[in-house]
Amino acid sequence: MARETPAGDLRLADLTKRFGTRTAVDALDLTIPQGSFFALLGASGCGKTTTLRMIAGLEQPTSGQVLLGDRDIGRLRPHQRPVNTVFQSYALFPHLDVFENVAFGLRRRGIRSVDDEVNRMLSLVQLDGYGSRRPAELSGGQQQRVALVRALVNRPQVLLLDEPLGALDLKLRRQMQIELKRIQTEVGITFVHVTHDQEEAMTMADTVAVMNAGRIEQLGAPADLYEFPATAFVANFLGQSNLLAGVATGVSAGDVAVTAHGARFSVPVGRARADHGPVQLGVRPEKLQLVGSAAQVPVGHQHVAGVVTDASYVGVSTQYLLRTGWGAELSVFVANSGTSTRVAVGEAAVAHWDPRHAFLLPASS
């Protein structure tokens, strides 16, 4: 779906929103590249929906600017902005059929011949032949698709998605994640997607911004954020992480030496965000393996001994908790590939990992 004029990047410049004494969005500076699928990810109350509402014009900033290319759209009313929003509730008109729901925006703009455009949009979301049905006759996923193309048919330069899949069941939500990404790639419009679901953000977005307390903790490609988080918050919000409190004692032969709970570890310099002082050594649960004794640990791997306190079979993996000698519990996800032996609760075991899969954070993060 071609645009008449290029939109340009969406830029938020020093964007701030206060509600009384509470700061919901705190001096946000952010550039969302034109044509990208961008996700704002965070827990409830982090400021992501307020940010979206300021882009849409549904909330006025306390200070700062909303720019599209070189144009300041922050002073425009919502209906004047080249922006449309898809909400979790879909907000379809129940008294109109699917065709008229999609055609609504075109008719409001005074366009008389809408058939070709509406039918093309319904085809885009694989709803050919559904035009005469009412919203109540559709499944949740089909309603979500109608809401999507009703927004797209007006050719916005930016499409805002506010938790659009939240009302769907798990299987349908995963199908729609793939579908939304396909549609975004096909139409080439900038999508800004707000969600608290980390899997949803990582599945669809080119770039993810993790928000916390009105600020962005980290911004980047999903794989980069997951593999090398910048803070403990990101490490534990985007998936799970085992974090060992320790002290970094400097760099030697390309590794940062770490002492933690009486044991010595190391992390490659390229995986470390600190090399001196209090730190947190992080390892993702799926990067760990379990063996019966330290003698079975591969050469070059590092390890922690303990006792298995829980084992949960979840299909693709078995998720273990290993209580260490100092009382902390490590999560270990072992793939059910048929090559590993299951460990029983109460058994002694050793968790080991390749130091190239670990990361190091300053303790203050």
Q: Any long-range contacts for 100-107 (C-beta under 8 Å, 24+ apart)?
A: 101/135, 101/146, 101/150, 102/131, 102/146, 102/149, 102/150, 102/153, 103/153, 104/150, 105/150, 105/153, 105/154, 106/153, 106/154
| Amino acid, single-letter form, for residue 203 | T
SS3 357: helix
Interatomic CA distance for residues 197 and 245, integer angstroms: 28
Contact partners, residue 348, CB within 8 Å, separation at least 6: 292, 293, 305, 306, 307, 308
Residue identified by tokens 């455009």 is 117
CB 249 within 8 A of CB 257: yes
H or E segment and range at residue 121: helix 115-124
Q: Which two tokens stand for residue 16?
A: 């701030």
State the Cα angle at 199 between 197 and 203, rounded to 5°. 125
Domains and CATH numbers, the chain: 10-228 (3.40.50.300), 240-362 (2.40.50.140)
Q: What is the mean pLDDT of each run of 10 residues along the chain (365 residues)?
A: 62 97 96 96 94 96 95 92 86 92 89 89 90 92 89 91 83 85 91 93 95 96 96 94 96 96 96 96 97 95 97 95 95 90 93 97 88
- What integer pLDDT is reported at residue 170 of this predicted model? 82
Contact partners, residue 223, CB within 8 Å, separation at least 6: none
Q: Which two tokens stand for residue 66?
A: 């909303």
CB 66 within 8 A of CB 60: no
- What integer pLDDT is reported at residue 256 of this predicted model? 98
**Considering the entire predicted model, what is its pTM?**
0.88
- What integer pLDDT is reported at residue 3 of this predicted model? 41
Interatomic CA distance for residues 158 and 78, integer angstroms: 13
H or E segment and range at residue 185: helix 170-187
E strands along the chain, which residues? 10-19, 22-32, 37-41, 63-68, 71-72, 83-87, 158-162, 190-195, 207-212, 215-220, 242-252, 255-260, 263-268, 276-283, 289-291, 302-313, 317-324, 329-335, 348-353, 358-362
CB 45 within 8 A of CB 17: no
